[in-house]
Amino acid sequence: MDYATQSRFSDPGRHADWLAGTPADFAALRDIASGLVFHYRAHGDPLDHGFAPARRAEIDLRYAEAMLGRLRELDPTLSGSPRRPTDQILGCCRDSTLLYVTLLRHHGIPARGRVGFAGYLVPGWHLDHVVAELWDGSRWRLVDPDFASLDSVDVLDVPRSSFLVGAEAWRALRSGAVDPSTVAVAPDIAEPFLRGLPYARHNLALDIAAMNKHEMLLWDIWGGMGLDPVVNGSDAVRADRVAGIDPVDAFAEPDLHVPTTIRSRNPDTGDWTEVTLH
């Protein structure tokens, strides 16, 4: 698969010209991407940082072209210099990663999003997270574009032991190497689906999609995915098999392939929206 070319989600479209002045350097591009998104939960209440309530809708921006357009309206400069919070878009780690992947692919650097769980954000926890995986000329490396820097890990070279991608996370939970009670979207979110095996299965499907250049929202649902609070025996065995095969082959299976129409559940309201992808 050609990870050096844009997907329909990462394509900058009419804003490709805005990226022309950015450097073809993965470290410098990470610095740019890390300042473009204000995390709608982790950075505190957006209202306390000057965001108008109507801007909460930005968390559902799906395509890089729309995200770049909004960023360009807010501040027409694109550099590694810090932006004011309100000159960033509201979003999450998926959005920082998508924008970083857009920048990398714009310069012909092979890159893809990886969905899994980070063990370096809160001690003792493996938390829902998305990072980029790029080819640096000799190997695939994990790079976290969601933070300017972290004391706990090198954001330019995240160890595989510190970030478990979808299939690795699933296998670690099933083998007992990782305690399912430490796996969650966030420690304070108690909804059963958003913890342990149910959410690991969800992220397995999202990571398979991302490996096939379908960089989905973290609250998208399609095919065999659901909000079941437990994973039954047959579903667990199925996920075991899926986690052990090539992600391109897995994506070819009808219940894992992303269809034209999906459902998306707003993380604020819990409301469902039917979305037709273009």
Please check whether residue 4 lies inside any domain of the structure. no
Q: With cut-offs at 50, 70 and 90, classify the pLDDT of residue 20.
A: very high
Is 31 part of a structural domain of the chain? yes
Q: Is the pLDDT of residue 48 over 90?
A: yes
pLDDT of res. 226: 87
* CB-CB neighbours of 27 under 10 Å: 12
Please tell me the distance from the alpha carbon of residue 182 to that of residue 43, in angstroms, as a whole number. Answer: 22
CA-based radius of gyration for the chain? 18
Reading the block at residue 243, the tokens are 């986690």
Separation between Cα atoms, residue 278 and residue 276, nearest integer Å: 7
| Residue 5, domain member (yes or no) | no
Neighbour count for residue 240 (Cβ, 10 Å): 13
| Joined tokens for residue 42 | 């982790």
Tokens representing 251 are 């994506």
Q: Distance (Å, rounded) from C-alpha 55 to C-alpha 72? A: 15
- The answer as to whether 8 is a domain residue is no
Taking the CB of residue 139, how many other CB atoms lie within 10 A of it? 8
The fraction of the chain above a pLDDT of 90, given in percent, is: 96
> What residue numbers bound the domain in which 232 lies?
13-276
* Residue 270 within a domain: yes
Domain for residue 117, yes or no?
yes
Write out the two tokens for 106.
């714009």
268 pLDDT more than 90:
no
If we measure between CA atoms, which residue out of 5, 3, 12 comes closest to residue 99? Answer: 12
Q: Measured between alpha carbons, how far is 158 from 130 in angstroms, rounded to an integer?
A: 12
Task: Please report whether residue 6 resides in a domain.
Answer: no
Task: For residue 134, name the pLDDT band (cuts at 50, 70, 90).
Answer: very high
State phi, psi for 119 to the nearest 5 degrees: -100, 10
- What are the residues whose beta carbons fall under 8 Å from the beta carbon of 232, sequence distance 6 or more? none
Residues 6+ apart with CB under 8 A from 237: none
Tell me the average pLDDT across 246-266: 96
Average pLDDT score, the chain: 97
Please indicate, yes or no, if residue 108 is contained in any of the structural domains.
Answer: yes
Span 169-180, mean pLDDT?
98
- Report the domain count for the chain: 1
